[in-house]
Amino acid sequence: MARTIGVDVGGTKMLAVTVDGAGNVIGERRVPTPAGADALIDAFVDVIEAQRAEASADAVGVGAAGLVDRDGVLHIGPNLPGVRELAIKALLEERVGLPVQVDNDATCAAWGERELGAAKGSDDVVVVTLGTGIGGGLVLDGHLYRGAHGFAGEVGHIKVDPNGIPCPCGGRGCWERYASGSALGRYGREAGEGGRATRVVELAGGDFHDVRGEHVGAAAREGDAEALGLMDRFAWWVAQGLATLADVFDPDTIVIGGGMLESADLFLDRTRAVFPELVLAGPERPAVDIVPAQLGERAGAIGAALVAREVVSR
Ligand SMILES: [Zn+2]
């Protein structure tokens, strides 16, 4: 089977892996993400050629945060300033002479978790990454689902409260404003401003303006009751969005990834406990497995390499 390279590009680093036909990672390297479109393409070429110098490859997959269309054009990358309408697939194919497949990073991570990670063997999977924002990827009937334009899976911008707080996307009340790491930080700041959550504020250095999600998590880990209350609120909002996704897609497995995974022990049981109350016919329907991701920070790169098997020329 084909040997492929996967590259996951984020706001700060590019992670490249080579995956052999058996699904083993046989080479890996990371480089800083440069600023600007031309430098970005040059960096892609360099990292791909460095991987190829160690082991030949038949195709390249790229996972990029943002809206990637079916022609491999990155329309908007929120973490890549100055990069718009970048034809990554066409530019890389010309430079490296291999078939290239480009998808959203969470879409790649979903395929990675389904093929080699927490959802191995499952044909109906929703993968949700809880970080600064919320990303998502869908495997439906055993196939990676991209949507008509490649933009499917932007689950973070499901509107859970039309009158809710503004989102950088221009909308209001998006799920990621309530169930991301940023949201947890906001819960902490609001509590601190009201004179509550004193331990959380203390861990942030004494000023409630500086509270971030990690401070709430750290206080909760100490057993602080107010911080645990904030984690419960966060857990409820996670479950609320997952229930909506389960109503639409009927997955048997939901995989939770992203930076908030470090705090999974502080919220995931609570999310699992309230989920059946929020999903349609919760007590009557078969249970949905809500599980932590297994591929860690390499999920996007490994998934991109596995997705690239689609474009290997035979
Ligand atoms: Zn939004």
Ligand 1 mean position to 81 CA, how many Å? Answer: 18
Ligand 1 mean position to 63 CA, how many Å? Answer: 21
Strand order in the sheet with 134-140: 143-145, 134-140, 125-130, 253-257, 289-292
Q: Whole-number mean pLDDT of the chain? A: 95
* The CATH number of the domain covering residues in 122-191+229-293: 3.30.420.40
Residue written as token pair 């992203």:
258
In this prediction, residue 59 carries a pLDDT of 98
- Decide if pLDDT at 313 tops 80: no
- Decide if pLDDT at 209 tops 60: yes
Ligand 1 mean position to 48 CA, how many Å? Answer: 33
Ligand 1 mean position to 173 CA, how many Å? Answer: 7
Looking at the whole model, is its pTM more than 0.85? Answer: yes
User: For residue range 67-119, what is the model confidence (pLDDT) as tens digits?
Assistant: 999 999 999 887 788 889 999 999 999 999 999 999 999 999 999 999 999 99
Reduce the secondary structure of 68-110 to three states and give it as a string.
Answer: ECCCCEEEECCCCCCCEEEEHHHHHHHHHCCCEEEEEHHHHHH
* The CATH number of the domain covering residues in 4-113+297-311: 3.30.420.40
Ligand 1 mean position to 177 CA, how many Å? Answer: 8
- What confidence tier does 168 reach under pLDDT thresholds 50, 70, 90? confident
In this prediction, residue 76 carries a pLDDT of 87
Ligand 1 mean position to 87 CA, how many Å? Answer: 25
Ligand 1 mean position to 171 CA, how many Å? Answer: 5
- Determine the average pLDDT of the residues in 164-191: 95
User: For residue range 5-34, what is the model confidence (pLDDT) as tens digits?
Assistant: 999 998 888 999 999 999 999 999 999 999
Q: Where in the chain is the domain with CATH 3.30.420.40?
A: 4-113+297-311, 122-191+229-293
Ligand 1 mean position to 273 CA, how many Å? Answer: 27
Ligand 1 mean position to 172 CA, how many Å? Answer: 7
Q: What whole-number distance in Å separates Cα of residue 82 and Cα of residue 105?
A: 18
**Higher local confidence (pLDDT), 169 or 127:** 127
User: For residue range 258-287, what is the model confidence (pLDDT) as tens digits?
Assistant: 889 999 999 999 999 999 999 999 989 999
In this prediction, residue 198 carries a pLDDT of 97
User: For residue range 33-59, what is the model confidence (pLDDT) as tens digits?
Assistant: 999 999 999 999 999 999 999 999 999
Cα atoms in the 13 Å half-sphere on the side-chain side of 123: 2
Ligand 1 mean position to 230 CA, how many Å? Answer: 22
- Determine the average pLDDT of the residues in 221-240: 98
Ligand 1 mean position to 179 CA, how many Å? Answer: 12
Q: What whole-number distance in Å separates Cα of residue 103 and Cα of residue 92?
A: 14
In this prediction, residue 1 carries a pLDDT of 78
In this prediction, residue 314 carries a pLDDT of 55
Structure-block tokens of residue 170: 């221009």
Ligand 1 mean position to 302 CA, how many Å? Answer: 27
Ligand 1 mean position to 157 CA, how many Å? Answer: 4
